Amino acid sequence: MIFPRKIFNEIEKCLFTEDIIVLHGARQVGKTYILYYIENFLKDKKQKTYYIDLEDSRFVDIIDTGVDEFIKHLSEAGILQSKSQKDKVFILIDEIQYLENPSSFLKLVADHHKNIKLVVSGSSSFAIKSKFKDSLVGRTVNFEIFPLSFTEFLLFKKQPIDFSSQKKLTNKTIDELKKWFEEFTLYGGYPKIVLTKDVELKEKYLQQIIDTYIRKDIKDLADIREIDKFNKLLEVLASQSGNLVEVLELANTCKLSRQTVENYLFILENTYIIKLVRPYYRNIRSELSKTAKVFFYDSGLMQMLWLKQLQKEIIGNVFETSVFAELVKRYGKENILYWRTADGKEIDFIIRIKNDLKAIEVKLNFERFDDTAIKYFRDKYESAYAVTALEGDMKNKYYQYPWEM
């Protein structure tokens, strides 16, 4: 069974335009299955489709030879039976970054073969950006794919609890949602991990993602020679998810140069492993410098890198990382900031949507919330706010569970 992903609703709007659809995100987050879902959706609509996996080097050789060879292949495979522009064909290409010059290939197909609609995926925005040229500007529409959201997690668990309506939930349903969010936090949102029941197998699969994909991708992209030091950096970053990134301190700890650490951070961010969350400020003198915080996109992956195993109970920065991951999928990664003043007042997340702000504090228990920083921020910026936790009494409407934010 292929489960639908929420982002398909946005992708569907572009399926019958002339845009090249580009899906990018970390490996193993489900891009291939989204392509399968799109393929099945189109087939149900009696559309002609053809799926190409560029992990198969034979296809890479064909396409790298040139567009004419690619068109010849489609004709020989019975996909293009005529040169009529009405003979619409949807070509779905997985792992587009393996091509020598994907930019040129996509441009030539889009410009000269209007009957071919391209839907492509890539596992690294860094690799894609480095190979995609300005010639594609205006021809692509991009979709970022992340691990599952909590709503998708429930769907994969076959627990479609509707918490989006204004209808008041029963205590029984809230307790069920708490239990599921605890699991979501402890194990993360990679689809294969969510669908695996055995915890030891979850750990094994997460370690495979780390060994086979993260370290391999980064090693290839960054030409890393000091593997042990890079692995140490990953572990330190995972232990500090939710904390300020002190580059010099990281360099000293991992025995790397400052420039090398900055380069590795750039690669990790552009391969969707971490996000450097920037501070929100209007008054640079009273609010802290431009130092970023680091967050991992997946709490399960973070724990495996840091603690070498999944935990049985939720740790504070693991919960904060899980909330961050959920906010990314709801509001977009560029709309999530944090706030901190020179005298130490701090708010975990500031959500910026157009001209509106929402301050969010994350606690394991509502009882641990101190409203000093929130009051100060709201007086300055007239923002909405919320406190999110899984335990404790909800004293007012500003206290919200993670799925309500």
Task: Answer with the one of 80, 110, 145 that is the final residue of a domain.
Answer: 145
21 and 37 both lie in a single domain = yes
94 and 15 both lie in a single domain = yes
- Residue 89, classified by CB atoms within 10 Å of its CB into exposed (0-12), middle (13-18) or buried (19+), is middle
Q: Going by C-beta distance under 8 Å and a sequence separation of 6 or more, which residues neighbour residue 245?
A: 265, 276, 291, 292, 293, 294
Tell me what pLDDT residue 293 has: 97
112 and 170 both lie in a single domain = no
**Structural domain span for residue 309:** 151-404
In a domain, 182, yes or no: yes
267 and 362 both lie in a single domain = yes
In a domain, 41, yes or no: yes
Task: Answer with the one of 103, 127, 145 that is the final residue of a domain.
Answer: 145
Task: Answer with the one of 97, 127, 145 that is the final residue of a domain.
Answer: 145
Tell me what pLDDT residue 86 has: 65
In a domain, 2, yes or no: no
pLDDT in tens, 19-44: 999 998 888 999 999 999 999 999 99
165 and 117 both lie in a single domain = no
State the Cα–Cα distance between residues 17 and 332, nearest whole angstrom: 24
State the Cα–Cα distance between residues 388 and 370, nearest whole angstrom: 12
Q: Going by C-beta distance under 8 Å and a sequence separation of 6 or more, which residues neighbour residue 361?
A: 347, 348, 369, 373, 374, 385, 386, 387, 388
179 and 248 both lie in a single domain = yes
Q: Residue 202, Cβ neighbours under 10 Å: how many?
A: 23
State the Cα–Cα distance between residues 24 and 146, nearest whole angstrom: 9
- Beta strand 274-277 pairing with 293-296: antiparallel
Distance of CA 106 to the CA centre of its chain: 24
State the Cα–Cα distance between residues 331 and 86, nearest whole angstrom: 39
326 and 344 both lie in a single domain = yes
Whether the CB-CB separation of 106 and 136 falls below 8 Å is answered with: yes
pLDDT in tens, 272-290: 999 999 999 887 676 676 8
* CATH number of the domain within which 14 lies: 3.40.50.300
In a domain, 1, yes or no: no
Whether the CB-CB separation of 188 and 207 falls below 8 Å is answered with: no
In a domain, 39, yes or no: yes
Tell me what pLDDT residue 82 has: 62
Tell me what pLDDT residue 139 has: 86
Tell me what pLDDT residue 163 has: 75
In a domain, 333, yes or no: yes
In a domain, 3, yes or no: no
DSSP state of 20: E
Q: What is the pLDDT along the chain (405 residues), one digit of tens a residue?
A: 789 999 999 999 999 999 999 998 888 999 999 999 999 999 999 999 999 999 999 999 999 999 999 999 999 999 987 655 567 899 999 999 889 888 889 999 999 999 999 999 987 655 566 666 666 778 889 999 999 999 999 999 998 787 776 678 888 999 999 999 999 999 999 999 999 999 999 999 999 999 887 777 677 666 777 888 999 999 999 999 999 999 999 999 999 999 999 989 988 998 899 999 999 988 767 667 689 999 999 999 999 999 999 999 999 899 999 999 999 999 999 999 999 998 889 999 999 988 899 999 999 999 999 999 999 999 888 889 999 999 999 888 899 999 998
pTM of the complete model: 0.91
Tell me what pLDDT residue 322 has: 97
